[in-house]
Structure 1
Amino acid sequence: MERKNKLRFGLILIGIGIIIGLIISAGFDFTKPSDANPSALPPASQSSVQDTAAQAGIQALDQLSNAFASIAEKVRPSVVTIFTETTIKSKGIQMQPFGDMFGDEFFRQFFGIPPGGQPREYKQHGLGSGVIVSPDGIIITNNHVVAKADDIKVRLIDGTEYKAKVKGKDKRTDLAILKIDAKNLPAIKIGDSDKLRVGAWVLAIGSPLSPELAHTVTSGIVSAKGRSGIGLGDVDEDYIQTDAAINPGNSGGALVNIHGELVGINAAIATRNGGFMGIGFAIPSNLAHKVMTDILEKGRVLRGWLGVYIQDINENIAKGLGLEKPQGVLISSVQEDSPAEKAGLKTEDVVLAIDGRKVRNSSELRARVAAAGPGKKVTLKILRDGKEKEIKVTLGEYPEEQATAAVESKAAEKIGIKVSNITPNLVQKFDLKVRKNGVVITNIKQGSVAVQSGLRPGDVILKINRKQVKNVSDYNKVLEKVKPGDTILFYIQRNEAKIFIAFTIPKE
């Protein structure tokens, strides 16, 4: 019986299989049409759907293209090309190896060589970009574009050229403000760089590589904000990073948002081959606007000052301080009578944020404090003994370095040194032991009597001719009383030692 049942079941399955095969071979279609199944539509309908989708995509791209074109058309006239000329002096050829045999004069006349040791001059030309920010000719550019220039020319988009005057330069932000004698210029609208979002579209406009490529427009997105610690020199680093193409000559040009507003001043690139590699940096427009306003209204840039010595936190320091992970910025010491001391900040405090914005490294904290300006009340979120707390600080004014280049004394020129007041930056740079009274030597001219006598950068001048020197003003006053041919006595501190150095100021 069981065997018969199995045979009957097998015959039933075979019969069902034959029936299904006949249905399939007959081409019957039991599939119901569905809006979600394009393959169920007739060929003509499928083609129509595809055409509609393609057309919608083309329209979207067309709208984006028109938006970029409109922005470029609006903004390009506000960007200028900057030409600089700098006089470079170099020493002449020395003929010393033959002097004993024939004399230098013989060889100079025989080969037509100018007198040995005489300085030669040649002109060095530079190219950059700038942005018109007021109809009466105020232009923002980078400090490194015009820093050493003897002559500056500005060319507008219509080819008109003007001589430019420097209203002010700021090395720490790498910004400079120029003025040309013109009216009714197409000034750009300055936007709010704090509102810029990572991923937002931006355009970069400038004059890369040569004047023939002036007003080049490139597009990209904001790759990051608040970039710092990227090794661009002694500047406050708080950059906008973008992948919009930036090349040499773009420096000082405009970075604009999709509304045609200035959100950054293009400043630098990160590269391994000298060309663009998708990593460009721009100075935020809010910082540029503050620097411009300070220079035009006050004649100098005012910066906020906290009065602390700070350092980054690595894994080892984090472990030593008992932190869960490296974060924030460590206060290594607090200056006496500083805003930080008055507010109650202490050594070993870890600054986590300023006004609600996280702080990732010491460069970022310095830049934000400086940009806030003197008199500004800021809230610091700190970590102390494992507990977070907030401390409000009223920032002071940063004691700017003052070079003696403006001193007109002939004696000062003959000495060949530049000095500055002692500042936190210089204390860290030269590891100074003196942190109050005195002036620090920041630069010495090669071959000068100062070098020959043994003075060095980083020496702190405490006295000159037995007169106390507390600051640059005291230094200038003392030098005004000496003249070429006089002997001058310096009392300096070098590391832990205090020594005297004396020399006669050259007459020629």
Structure 2
Amino acid sequence: MRRIPKGLLWVMTAVMGGAVGAGIVMLRSESRTSWSYAAEGREAAAARSELARADYRADDLTTAFRTVAKAMRPSVVSVSTVKHIRPRQGELGRQRARPQVPGQFREFFGDDFPFERFFDMPNPPEGFDQQGLGSGVIVSADGYILTNNHVVRGADEVNVTLSDRRTIAAKLVGTDPKTDVAVLKVDAPDLVPASLGNSDAAEVGEWVLAVGSPFGLDQTVTAGIISAKSRQMAITDYEDFIQTDAAINPGNSGGPLVNLKGQVIGINTAIASRTGGNNGVGFAIPSNLASTIMDAIVKHGRVQRGRLGALIQDLNEDLAKSFNFASTKGVLIGDVLDDSPAKKAGLQAGDIVVEFNGKPMENANQFRMSVAGTPPGTSSELTIVRSGKRQTIKITTDELTDEMATTGPAGAAEESSADFGLTVQTLSPELADQLGYEQNQQGVVITDVDPTSIAARTGLRPRDVVVDVNGKAIRHIRDFREAMAQADTAQGVRLQVMRDGNRRFVFLRSSR
């Protein structure tokens, strides 16, 4: 049998420590220092006073890093978890111990990271305990702690270890898997909370420190800069990640990302890596988002999200021009759902949202996050551009519930567009019914898309239904043929397309 490289196994064990997996992470026993938690608290207070001085500057990075590290030390905790695995009857000796790593997080560690190879072992008949390790940060004097959902997911026991080595049982107050935020609570005297900063004010290029327990090495501090903001990595449903090159490794999950004023501006969550270790691309949940989620969990026990009931998309240059809109900054309304707040407020497909409650909206994700963060029942103000004119709409959000989706198949007279590489036919009542639409739905259904065509490159595919061409409603093939004949394909054609009941705009431009 090939020998397992010692370092590699340690890395993978630490990975499981960050995600409540089967690996067992042992904290290194270090000799206790003479500092008590109270002494660390006093030292942290002095450091924070230094950071708060009006004339404080971070020109001396060594001093700045050292001061922030002292200020954060009593506020950062190691989070250890235990999940009891007991084999069911008939599975003794057969059930396999599998690492409990969510699929979206496995993707970041890469396909060449052989979890099963090292954890594919028969369970002992009496069962076993999965142990995990992550990080967290104390954010209130009464013991509330922010960490990641994936650190505590499925855990039967959660403990936190303070900087003075005290280990305290923690209560799981609540989690929000859609943002990967979890809130813990501990009862202990004289806790030293960290200060939450304004993540919206953080800028690319700023120095930041990541603090946590990578590989079980508690109170580890690494330095880097903010590399980018507003990253979407398809890890969670709602994300607006801060990207950093500060070293983040397995076990850092849930720990703070801190600016040089000693303020927490993010909760470290994920890394992009092919090996499981740091490659200089880490992601943190913005503190403003984490704080909002925590407040909702503490006050209501769950997160309530606002909903407008409109399908939205980003603007590209061609779509913007087709609406005579001079910028790609804004959010295009692709469709408005029946009996929704958007419908009641008079929002229409083709409207471009430029402000939400006075704040400029640059893209669809920003708008979606802003609406979701608005409590249901709140009256809000939308500034839109419709037919080139700005106007303001009052709208009251309702509560977002689990989204519904519809699906269906396709398939007499057809019309082809050689310029764009698609073939359509009239959407008959029978075909509409097969596709899951009302039988009176009008339009033309795409029956074929040339895989090398412009249509394919813009994401069109068979079963999509075209309902509008350049602002003209499409009822059947004749309408589609006339609209395409009138269009200047070299200048481009705007289609409104329906898929699974949802509408969006697509812009096609011929290269001929």
The alignment's TM-score, normalised by the length of structure 1, stands at 0.58
Deviations along 1:418-465, one digit per CA (max 9) or x if unpaired, are xxxxx33x4389999699xxxxxxxxxxxxxxxxxxxxxxxxxxxxxx
Do residues 391 (structure 1) and 397 (structure 2) align? no
Aligned AA (1:65): T
Deviations along 1:184-236, one digit per CA (max 9) or x if unpaired, are 1111112222222222221111111x22x1111111222222222x2213x21
Match of residue 219 from structure 1: 223
Q: Classify the secondary structure of the residue corresponding to 2:165.
A: coil
Flag the 1:201–1:428 CA change in 2: closer, same or farther, 3 A. farther
Match of residue 427 from structure 1: 405
Which one of 338, 341, 345 corresponds to residue 340 of structure 2? 338
Aligned AA (1:220): G
Match of residue 129 from structure 2: 123
- Equivalent-residue separation in structure 2 for 1:311 and 1:71 (angstroms): 41
Which one of 62, 65, 70 corresponds to residue 67 of structure 2? 70
Which one of 169, 172, 175 corresponds to residue 181 of structure 2? 175
Do residues 232 (structure 1) and 235 (structure 2) align? yes
- Equivalent-residue separation in structure 2 for 1:165 and 1:285 (angstroms): 22
Flag the 1:344–1:186 CA change in 2: closer, same or farther, 3 A. same
- Equivalent-residue separation in structure 1 for 2:407 and 2:362 (angstroms): 21
- Equivalent-residue separation in structure 2 for 1:83 and 1:356 (angstroms): 43
Match of residue 77 from structure 2: 80
- Equivalent-residue separation in structure 2 for 1:232 and 1:430 (angstroms): 28
Offset of 1:182 from its aligned partner? 1.2
1:280-319 aligned within 5 A: 280-313=282-315
Deviations along 1:27-52, one digit per CA (max 9) or x if unpaired, are xxxxxxxxxxxxxxxxxxxxxxxxxx
Q: Classify the secondary structure of the residue corresponding to 2:69.
A: helix
1:91-102 aligned within 5 A: 91-92=91-92
351-360 or 81-90: which moved more?
351-360
Match of residue 258 from structure 1: 260
152-161 or 236-245: which moved more?
236-245
Match of residue 251 from structure 2: 249
Flag the 1:195–1:78 CA change in 2: closer, same or farther, 3 A. same
Q: Classify the secondary structure of the residue corresponding to 2:60.
A: helix
Q: Classify the secondary structure of the residue corresponding to 1:85.
A: strand
Deviations along 1:57-76, one digit per CA (max 9) or x if unpaired, are xxx99832112101110112
Aligned AA (2:220): T
Flag the 1:382–1:276 CA change in 2: closer, same or farther, 3 A. farther
- Equivalent-residue separation in structure 2 for 1:149 and 1:397 (angstroms): 29
Q: What is the number of equivalent residue pairs in this alignment?
A: 330
69-78 or 306-315: which moved more?
306-315
Offset of 1:87 from its aligned partner? 3.1
Offset of 1:359 from its aligned partner? 3.9
- Equivalent-residue separation in structure 1 for 2:406 and 2:350 (angstroms): 18
> Taking CA–CA contacts closer than 8 Å with sequence separation of 6 or more, which of the two structures ends up with the larger relative contact order?
2
Do residues 154 (structure 1) and 167 (structure 2) align? no
Offset of 1:145 from its aligned partner? 0.7
User: Quick check: 2:58–2:64 contact (8 Å CA) kept in 1?
Assistant: no
Offset of 1:134 from its aligned partner? 1.6
User: Quick check: 2:345–2:394 contact (8 Å CA) kept in 1?
Assistant: yes
Aligned AA (1:347): A
Offset of 1:317 from its aligned partner? 5.6
Which one of 272, 296, 300 corresponds to residue 270 of structure 1? 272
Q: Classify the secondary structure of the residue corresponding to 2:353.
A: strand
Q: Classify the secondary structure of the residue corresponding to 2:70.
A: helix
Work out the percentage of aligned pairs sharing the same amino acid: 48
Gaps of 5+ in 2: 1-56, 96-121, 410-434, 439-499, 502-512
Offset of 1:358 from its aligned partner? 4.6
Q: Classify the secondary structure of the residue corresponding to 1:348.
A: coil
- Equivalent-residue separation in structure 2 for 1:296 and 1:428 (angstroms): 35
User: Quick check: 1:202–1:222 contact (8 Å CA) kept in 2?
Assistant: yes
Aligned AA (2:234): G
Alpha-carbon RMSD across the aligned residues, in angstroms, is: 3.5
User: Quick check: 2:407–2:436 contact (8 Å CA) kept in 1?
Assistant: no
User: Quick check: 2:93–2:125 contact (8 Å CA) kept in 1?
Assistant: no
Match of residue 450 from structure 2: none
Match of residue 350 from structure 2: 348
Offset of 1:282 from its aligned partner? 1.3
User: Quick check: 1:237–1:364 contact (8 Å CA) kept in 2?
Assistant: no
Do residues 137 (structure 1) and 137 (structure 2) align? no
User: Quick check: 1:219–1:244 contact (8 Å CA) kept in 2?
Assistant: yes
Aligned AA (1:226): S
Which one of 204, 208, 217 corresponds to residue 210 of structure 2? 204
- Equivalent-residue separation in structure 2 for 1:298 and 1:206 (angstroms): 29
Flag the 1:376–1:434 CA change in 2: closer, same or farther, 3 A. farther
- Equivalent-residue separation in structure 2 for 1:354 and 1:137 (angstroms): 35
Determine which structure has the larger helix proportion and give its number: 1
- Equivalent-residue separation in structure 2 for 1:299 and 1:271 (angstroms): 34
- Equivalent-residue separation in structure 1 for 2:408 and 2:180 (angstroms): 22
- Equivalent-residue separation in structure 2 for 1:376 and 1:201 (angstroms): 37
User: Quick check: 2:144–2:183 contact (8 Å CA) kept in 1?
Assistant: yes
- Equivalent-residue separation in structure 2 for 1:248 and 1:117 (angstroms): 25
Q: Classify the secondary structure of the residue corresponding to 2:68.
A: helix
- Equivalent-residue separation in structure 1 for 2:139 and 2:405 (angstroms): 37
Larger Rg: 1
The alignment's TM-score, normalised by the length of structure 2, stands at 0.57
368-377 or 242-251: which moved more?
368-377
- Equivalent-residue separation in structure 2 for 1:130 and 1:430 (angstroms): 45
Offset of 1:327 from its aligned partner? 5.0
Aligned AA (2:163): I
- Equivalent-residue separation in structure 2 for 1:363 and 1:89 (angstroms): 42
- Equivalent-residue separation in structure 1 for 2:436 and 2:184 (angstroms): 39
Aligned AA (2:81): T
Gaps of 5+ in 1: 1-59, 96-115, 400-422, 436-494, 497-508
Aligned AA (2:222): T
Offset of 1:357 from its aligned partner? 4.5
Deviations along 1:269-324, one digit per CA (max 9) or x if unpaired, are 22333222222211121222222122112222222222222334557766776766
